């Protein structure tokens, strides 16, 4: 059986289990985003992570998702049971997975692509629009979302993300990926101020 759940404590404090789902459509770079997040958590922040992609009928319909279970201890049960954080980059993925959030879990969504939000603890950011306008490459919405998740939740260190995004970026795209990360950190911090008031 899984570890007992505790709340996540931001910025380096210990926690037993934190569950993340990154969801949207194929071509939005969510799997690579999840690999970057997992590697930052594991190789820089010292967490244990199990990342899972399930490919079934939804994948054939174009949907894409990746799940991360993060812990300071051993991870006995690799599937998410109740999400602490859901990233929804399409309306379809939002509708499909919002029910998997635990009570008080956080929904982060692309506010241009997700227009019906059936959940209150939710933060909308125009990830794809920002990627297009600030970076010039829509798919870099994935890295912008990682920066926002970092600023909003503190689950991963900025240092970890910077190291791994640089290392994992396809050759020749390092600078744009790093710029996308900074955009995400900035909009995440701004969004956090809004909800903290």
The CA distance from 81 to 133, in Å, is 37
Closest approach, Cβ 109 to its own copies, in A, equals: 24
**104 lines the binding site for its own copies (CB under 8 A):** no
Closest CB 138 distance from its own copies, rounded Å = 13
- Residue 75's alpha-carbon distances to 17, 30, 66, in angstroms, are 8, 22, 17
By CB under 8 A, residue 41 contacts its own copies: yes
Q: What gap in Å lies between CA 7 and CA 141, rounded to an integer?
A: 28
Contact of 72 with 16, CB cutoff 8 Å: yes
- 78 touches its own copies (CB under 8 A): yes
Choice from 23, 51, 90, 145 touching its own copies (CB under 8 A): 51
Q: Could you tell me the smallest distance in angstroms from the CB atom of residue 35 to its own copies?
A: 6
As measured in angstroms, the least distance from the Cβ of 102 to its own copies is 20
* Residue 53 binds to its own copies (criterion: CB under 8 A): yes
Of 49, 54, 67, 81, the residue nearest 156 (C-alpha): 49
Tell whether residue 12 is a contact of its own copies (CB under 8 A). no
Q: What DSSP string runs through 115-148?
A: -----SSEEEE-HHHHIIIIIS-GGGHHHHHHHH
Q: Is 56 in the site for its own copies (CB under 8 A)?
A: yes
Among 42, 96, 117, 191, binds its own copies (CB under 8 A): 42
């Amino acid at each position: 059986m899984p570890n007992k759940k505790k709340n996540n404590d931001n910025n380096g404090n210990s926690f037993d289990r934190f569950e993340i789902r990154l969801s949207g459509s194929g071509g939005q770079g969510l799997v690579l985003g999840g690999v970057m997040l997992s590697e930052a958590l594991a190789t820089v922040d010292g967490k244990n992570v199990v990342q899972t992609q399930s490919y079934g009928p939804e994948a054939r319909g174009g949907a894409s998702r990746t799940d991360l279970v993060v812990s300071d201890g051993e991870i006995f049960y690799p599937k998410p049971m109740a999400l602490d954080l859901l990233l929804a980059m399409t309306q379809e993925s939002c509708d499909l997975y919002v029910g998997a959030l635990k009570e008080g879990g956080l929904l982060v969504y692309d506010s241009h692509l997700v227009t019906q939000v059936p959940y209150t603890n939710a933060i909308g950011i125009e990830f794809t629009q920002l990627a297009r306008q600030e970076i010039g490459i829509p798919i870099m919405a994935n890295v912008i979302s990682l920066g926002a998740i970092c600023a909003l939740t503190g689950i991963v260190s900025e240092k970890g993300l910077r190291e791994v995004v640089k290392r994992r970026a396809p050759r020749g795209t390092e600078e744009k990926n790093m710029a996308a990360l900074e955009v995400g950190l900035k909009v995440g911090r701004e969004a956090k101020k809004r909800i903290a008031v």
